[in-house]
Amino acid sequence: MPETGNGDTLTVTDNRTGRTYEIPVNEGVVRASEFRKMKAHEGDFGLMVYDPAFTNTASCRSAITHIDGEQGILEYRGYPIEELAEQSSYLETAYLLLYGELPTKSQMDEWTHDIKFHTYVHENIKKFMEGFQYDAHPMGMLVGTVAALSTFYPDAKHVADPVSRDIQTMRLIAKMPTMAAFAYRHNRGLPYVYPDNDLSYTGNFLSMLWKMSEPQYKPAPALERAIEVLFILHADHEQNCSTNAMRSVASSEADPFSATAAAAAALYGPLHGGANEAVIRMLGIIGDKKRVPEFVSRVKSGEDLLWGFGHRVYKSYDPRAKIIKRTADEVFELTGPNPLLEIALELERIALEDDYFVQRKLYPNVDFYSGIIYQALGFPVDMFPVLFAIPRTVGWLAQWREMLEDPEQKIARPRQIYAGATRRSYTPIERR
Ligand code: CMC
C-alpha cells in the first residue's frame, strides 16, 4: 500500500506489557500485520485481529468499483452507475471494468468482435449439459458447466501470462450467456439454440432463450434494453461474497474457469444472488396488499426476513434498486403489470416508515425489484441467479486480473482462534 505521506498514526499501549506502539494510518486503514509486533512475552505469536465475515477488514486495494454505502453511491472506474445505466451498453461497461477506461470506437468494435467470436461452446459442452437431469436447477448446471470449461481450455492455467488472461476473459464473458440459455432450454425440454452473432450481446442471449421456428429471432428493443440495464447494474459490486470467493480461489493460481465456478457457487446462496428468488416467493406468500402489515409484524418479531431489504454496505437506498424500479415501469408497459408489484410497493412503503427498518437502516436492495421484472419477462425463478451470474462474470474477472497484478497479494489464508479440545490420547473404538 503506498504511503499517503500525511504521517497519521495510531498509538497503542499494550496493557499486558506496558509497551507502546505507533502504527501508521494510511487511507484510513491500519495494517493488521502491525499488531503481530505486540507480543505478551518472548515467543508469543503476537496479536491477531478477529473479524468473522470480514465486516471491517479490507482484503485488497482495488481501483474498480467504489461504493459509498451511507450516501447510496455506486461508481465503476469513477463513472456513476446512473450514467452508465442510461448511456452505456453492457459490453462497453465490461470493457471499462476490465481495462479502466471507456473504449474508443475502434477499441469497442474490436472488443465486440472478439466477444462474438467466442460465443459458441464446444459440442461436448452441449453433450455435457444434456447429461443433467431434466429438472436440474439451471444455476447448478451453470456452476458445473463453467467448471467443466477448464478441462476444455488447459491453457487457462497459465494465469501469469497476460495474453492467456485476455483470451480466458473473452471466452468466459462470451460463453456465459450461451451456457445460461442452454440450461434454461434444457429445463424446458427445448432444443438448444446456437448463438446468433448478428445480434447484440443481450439480443443474442434473448434469441438463445426464446427462439422457436422463426429463421431469425428479433428481440423487442425495449426488452433488449431492459436486460442491458440489468446487466450493467449487476456487473460488479466490489468485495462481495462471490467476488471474495473468486479472489480467494484464484489466489492459489487456479485457472479462471474453476475460480469463476466457485464465485458462481457463492452467488447461488439465498443471502447473495438467490435473494430475488426469495423475494418472489415472499411476495407470493403474502399474496395480497392487505396482508403486508401482518407480514411486517412477523419480520419484526424475527420469524421471517424481509427479503430484498438490507445490505452489508448500503445503509441507504441501494442506487441500483432506484434504477431497477424505473426499468420495471418500462418493462411493464410492454409485458403488462406484474401483480406482485403492488404488494412490493406497499411493502416498501410500510417498511420505510417503520422504526424497526429505519433504525437498522434497512432499505430495498438490488434484488427487491429485479425478480419482479425477470418474472414479467417470462423467466422462471430458478433462472434468477443465472441472470445475475452472466453480468457479474465480468466483475469477477476484473477483480481476478487486478489481484494477479497486485504485488501485495498472495495465497489467501486467514488465521483462526482455536477453540477446540486440548491435546488428548486416541481411544480405541472398543473402549469408547
Ligand atoms: N429483514 C429483517 N431484518 C433484517 C434484514 C431483513 N432483510 N436484514 C437485516 N436485518 C436486521 C438483522 O436482523 C439485524 O437486526 P439486529 O440488529 O436486531 O440483530 C440488523 O438488521 C443488521 O443486520 P445484519 O444481519 O447484521 O446485516 P448484514 O450486513 O450481516 O446482512 C444481508 C446483510 C444482505 C445479508 C441482510 O440484510 C439480509 O439477509 N437481507 C435479506 C437478503 C437479501 O436481500 N440479500 C441480497 C443482498 S443484495 C444483493 C447482493 O449483493 O448479493
The pLDDT of residue 325: 87
Section 394-406 average pLDDT: 98
Distance 59 CA to ligand 1 centre (A): 22
Domain identity same for 101 and 9 = no
Tell whether 6 and 127 lie within a shared domain. no
CA of 315 to the centre of ligand 1 (A): 11
Share of the chain above pLDDT 70, in %: 99
Ligand 1 atom, smallest distance to 242 CA: 52
- 274 Cα: distance to centroid of ligand 1 (angstroms): 14
C-alpha 309 – ligand 1 centre gap (Å) = 7
The domain in which residue 33 lies consists of: 1-50
pLDDT recorded at residue 3: 44
Q: Which amino acid is at 170?
A: M
Q: How confident is the model at residue 335 (pLDDT cuts 50, 70, 90)?
A: confident
Nearest to 246 by CA among 268, 261, 231: 261
Pocket lined around ligand 1, Cβ cut-off 6 Å: 237, 240, 271-273, 275, 299, 305-312, 360, 362, 365-367
Which of 267, 354, 362 to mutate for ligand 1's pocket (most ligand atoms within 8 Å of CB)? 362
Per residue in 14-55, pLDDT (tens digit) is: 999 999 999 999 999 999 999 999 999 999 999 999 999 999
Residue nearest to atom 44 of ligand 1 (CA): 308
Same domain for 46 and 70? no
151 domain-assigned: yes
CATH code of the domain containing 248? 1.10.580.10
Closest ligand 1 atom to residue 279 Cα is 44
273 or 252, which is more confident: 252
Identify whether the C-beta of residue 277 lies closer than 8 Å to the C-beta of residue 381.
yes
Calculate the average pLDDT of the chain.
Answer: 95
Q: Does a structural domain hold residue 89?
A: yes
**Is residue 265 in a domain?**
yes
Atom of ligand 1 nearest to the CA of 318: 48
Confidence of residue 407 (pLDDT cuts 50, 70, 90): very high
Q: pLDDT, tens digit, for every residue of 284-301? A: 999 999 999 999 999 999
| Closest residue by Cα to residue 231 from 103, 89, 83 | 89
- Residue whose CA is at the smallest distance from ligand 1 atom 10: 310
272 CA: nearest ligand 1 atom: 52
Q: List the residue whose alpha carbon is closest to atom 50 of ligand 1.
A: 272
Query: Does a structural domain hold residue 415?
Result: no
Q: Do 8 and 124 belong to one domain?
A: no
Spatial distance between the Cα atoms of 127 and 149, rounded to a whole number of angstroms: 13
Task: Report which ligand 1 atom has the smallest distance to the Cα of 360.
Answer: 21
157 domain residue, yes or no: yes
Taking CA atoms only, the protein residue closest to ligand 1 atom 36 is 310
Q: Is residue 395 part of a domain?
A: yes
- Count of domains in the chain? 2
126 shares a domain with 44? no
For the CA of 53, the nearest atom of ligand 1: 30
**Pair 36, 142 in one domain:** no
- Alpha carbon distance 90, 112 (integer Å): 11
Q: What integer pLDDT is reported at residue 1 of this predicted model?
A: 44
Average pLDDT over residues 409-428: 97
- Ligand 1 center–CA 355 separation, angstroms: 15
- Is position 430 within any domain? no
Is the distance from CB of 226 to CB of 391 less than 8 angstroms? no
CA nearest ligand 1 atom 20, residue: 360
User: Is 21 in the same domain as 88?
Assistant: no
For the ranges 5-9, 308-312, 365-369, which has the lowest average pLDDT?
Answer: 5-9
Q: What is the DSSP string of 375-418?
A: HHTT--GGGHHHHHHHHHHHHHHHHHHHHHT-TT----------
Q: Are residues 148 and 121 in the same domain?
A: yes
Enter the DSSP assignment of 309.
B
Atom of ligand 1 nearest to the CA of 299: 2
Q: pLDDT digit string (tens) for 97-139? A: 999 999 999 999 999 999 999 999 999 999 999 999 999 999 9
Catalytic residue annotation: 272, 311, 367
Distance in angstroms (rounded) separating the CA atoms of residues 36 and 50? 13
Q: Is there a single domain that holds both residue 11 and residue 146?
A: no
Cα 312 to middle of ligand 1, angstroms:
7
- Alpha carbon 386 to chain centroid distance? 11
Predicted local distance difference test score (pLDDT) of residue 264: 98
Centroid of ligand 1 to alpha carbon of 353 (angstroms): 18
23 and 108 in a single domain? The answer is no
User: For a pocket test of ligand 1, which of 57, 365, 392 has the largest count of ligand atoms closer than 8 A to its C-beta?
Assistant: 365
8-state DSSP, 192: P
Q: How far is the CA of 310 from the centre of ligand 1 (A)?
A: 5
d(CA 184, CA 275): 19
Residues 118 and 11 in one domain: no
Protein residue with least CA distance to atom 51, ligand 1: 272
> Whose Cα sits closest to atom 11 in ligand 1?
360
Residue 424 has pLDDT above 80, yes or no: yes
Please state the pTM of the whole predicted model: 0.93
Nearest residue (by CA) to ligand 1, atom 16, is 360
* Nearest CA-CA partner of 149 in 166, 169, 163: 169
21 shares its domain with 97: no
Greater pLDDT, 90 or 6:
90
Asked whether residue 365 is assigned to any structural domain, the reply reads: yes
Cα dihedral sign for 87, 90, 92, 97? positive
Quick one: pLDDT at residue 277? 86
Substitution candidate for ligand 1 out of 54, 246, 292, 311 with most atoms within 8 A of CB: 311
